[in-house]
Amino acid sequence: MSQPILIRSSVDRHVGWLEFNRPPVNAFTREMVDETHDAIVAALGDPEVRVLVLASALPRYFSAGADLHVFKGIGQDGMRRWAERCHDIVRLLRNSPKPLLAAINGTAVGGGLEMTLHCDLRFAATDARLGQPEINIGFIPPIATTQALARLIGRPRAIRYLYEGRLVPAAEALDWGLLDELVEPAGLQAHVQAYAETLAAKSPAALAAIRRTVTLGGGMTFEDGMALELDTVVQLAVTPDFAEGVDAFLAKRPPTWRY
């Protein structure tokens, strides 16, 4: 008997979709974490994929976090291996040269939601509910969430959110800056696909440079961030995309990027 596909992968007009697919609620096992890692590696290495979206194949659940059976008697060594694998995913996402988007629907808690914190933009259905309830089992979110949340929404709000472990309505999460845009549930995937296509039509070299300088530079001192920006600008100066962009602008024609 074939194994179920836990991460559904597809490409539509240069937009790659990775959809969590473990019914009934997308509770993560180690196998699902490994499959997520491998699917991200494959998508980032696929020249047909110019923008990557994290989403769910289930209508009512984006993520239910870890399947807690995994943690029964896990011990320190087992937990280290689990968390290190999760951090491997974080590094893939943070170092991606391609724009990363999230399409969040339904109930979104724990690990799947944590991965979206490392995306560039988070779109959510208006009826979505978000939470990090790990405090309720005497734990903390292990997918670099303690670091990402403080940078996204500030330390006071991040620490209260993690202390309380409650489910937050999408409108409140939008007000915090945890989400970037709300969409009616029925139109979420189409809206994210349309936005992703606008990015897929832009210069890959410039998109990667923006992602690198903002994502990595944000964790540096201002001077170090400026140095990263300087190096990136110098590198872009000799790319085919920059030459084409300048030529196209001067000739008043659409650019043709090097994909």
Q: What is the pLDDT of residues 69-119, one digit of tens each?
A: 999 999 999 999 999 999 999 999 999 999 999 999 999 999 999 999 999
Q: Which residues are catalytic?
A: 114, 134
Is the model's pLDDT at 1 over the cut of 60? no
Per-residue model confidence as pLDDT tens digits over 114-154: 999 999 999 999 999 999 999 999 999 999 999 999 999 99
Beta bridge pairs of residue 7: 20
The structure's pTM equals: 0.95
* Model pLDDT, residue 136: 96
Per-residue model confidence as pLDDT tens digits over 152-192: 999 999 999 999 999 999 999 999 999 999 999 999 999 99
Query: Half-sphere exposure of 217 toward its Cβ, with a 13 Å CA cutoff?
Result: 17
Closest CA to 25 of 72, 70, 68, 60: 60
Long-range Cβ contact pairs of 29-36 (< 8 A, separation 24 or more)? 29/66, 29/67, 29/70, 30/70, 30/82, 30/85, 31/6, 32/6, 32/7, 33/82, 33/85, 33/86, 33/89, 33/111, 34/85, 35/6, 35/7, 36/6, 36/7, 36/89, 36/115
Per-residue model confidence as pLDDT tens digits over 56-65: 999 999 999 9
Give CA–CA dist 157/160, Å, rounded. 5
Is the model's pLDDT at 218 over the cut of 90? no
Residue 9: how many other CB atoms lie within 10 Å: 18
* Model pLDDT, residue 29: 96
* Model pLDDT, residue 2: 59
Structural domains in the chain plus CATH codes: 7-200 (3.90.226.10), 204-251 (1.10.12)
Q: How confident is the model at residue 259 (pLDDT cuts 50, 70, 90)?
A: confident
Is the model's pLDDT at 226 over the cut of 70? yes
